[in-house]
Homo-oligomer: A and B are copies of this chain.
């Protein structure tokens, strides 16, 4: 039986560094100019500065009358001053411009309108009282948001208020996802014996969306070197990152590595991480290619590490960090020396502490990932962790109770 040379296990963090080194010259992607109103969650490629001041004129901050502050000096409840409306003072609503000559607002509660033309004032106000000055919020030229910033709803509001209608943002990374395998079929209700429903391409597609990219989920291709090669050739020029699902190991019918070798360079084949070991990290032309293991938990872990980082590089941002919490282990967990392991954990809160139970550890047990609240990382130089010990778990689900 022909076999490829079995994959050499690279330290998974070194593999990540190799990926960084290899693609730091082509990422981040270029900028594109889009309408600010469409820019939610996009990443800025340059500082955005105000084109207008906001507010753009001195404005009343209250409903009331605009006055010359000086003219009110000395007014009090025992010494009422009267002003002629439209001449000495002017009725004004919140947001109205303050006309030349006026420099303060007296709010409606502090005046009495005697008749159509006369207002009584019973207090004095200092210059500037209840005026929103031009540029009080943003001055023309001010930085609104910095470079490499993920645009939020309030940022959009601030840009529009400052007359900024277009913004330069990072192009979204386009990721092609190529599921392979003669036994793999599209999701269906009644698969035949031996057929395996493709779930990895859908999980990949959703993760690409969550991480700010545009996925292209390609049709399933059968396990045939020529066909896999054609599938990659078809999409490589229009996408920034290529994912080939399955066939990444070293079995007789695992063609991905040989296809990738023919088309480009294999950077890493195999890492010291479980699940996730039989991964391929490669380069075809100047595009990164990830050969994903077929077991869904392995696939997920690999995407979560390598694709997430590649996409962050493409977007010019640090990869999103998950929250970590300290938990107490409910039972012993043994782990293989020489392999980092990621264990899916179910958490429960009891008497103010959080307890963690490991779920099934097979790379094919997607339910462990669905049911887990968090991930426990056991380093390769540890044989495991003991019940009662405190460890840190990365949350993958909102953990409430």
Contact = CB atoms under 8 A, between A and B. Distances in A.
Number of copies: 2
A193 B199 CA distance: 58
Interface in A177-210: 181, 183, 187-191, 193-200, 202-203, 205-207, 209-210
B202 A157 contact: yes
A368 to B, nearest CB: 8
A36 B186 CA distance: 13
Interface stretch (A7-15, A136-144, A229-237): A136-144
B96 A136 contact: no
Contacts of A176: none
Given A137-B365, A153-B203, A56 B191 contact: yes
A253 B370 contact: no
A126 B113 CA distance: 98
A88 interface: no
Nearest to A153: B206
Interface of A: 1, 3, 36-37, 40, 51-52, 54-57, 59, 61, 63, 91, 93-97, 108, 113, 132, 136-138, 142, 144-145, 150, 152-158, 160-161, 163, 165, 181, 183, 187-191, 193-200, 202-203, 205-207, 209-210, 249, 251-253, 294, 296, 300, 318, 320-321, 323, 362, 364-367, 369-370, 397-398, 400
B207 A161 contact: no
7 contacts: A54-B366, A94-B249, A132-B364, A153-B202, A157-B366, A163-B191, A320-B398
Contacts of A161: 197, 199, 296, 366
A350 to B, nearest CB: 20
A202 B37 contact: yes
Contacts of A1: 91, 108, 113
A203 B108 contact: no
Interface centre among A51, A153, A157, A203 (most CB of B within 10 A): A157
Contact of A37 (B187, B195, B318): B187
A153 B210 contact: yes
B158 A370 contact: yes
A161 B57 CA distance: 61
A214 to B, nearest CB: 14
Nearest to A297: B154
B137 A163 contact: no
A237 to B, nearest CB: 26
B163 A197 contact: yes
A189 to B, nearest CB: 5
A318 B193 CA distance: 42
Nearest to A35: B187
Given A54-B366, A96-B183, A207 B163 contact: no
A3 B183 contact: no
Given A95-B183, A132-B364, A136-B365, A296 B153 contact: no
A160 B137 contact: no
A135 to B, nearest CB: 10
Contacts of A210: 40, 153
A253 B165 CA distance: 30
A249 B94 CA distance: 11
A56 to B, nearest CB: 6
Contact of A165 (B61, B132, B150, B189): B189
Contacts of A157: 199-200, 202-203, 296, 300, 366
The 5 A-B pairs at the shortest CB distance, nearest first, are namely A153-B206, A157-B199, A157-B203, A160-B187, A63-B251
Contacts of A200: 157
A89 B400 CA distance: 51
A270 to B, nearest CB: 15
B95 A294 contact: yes
Contacts of A113: 1
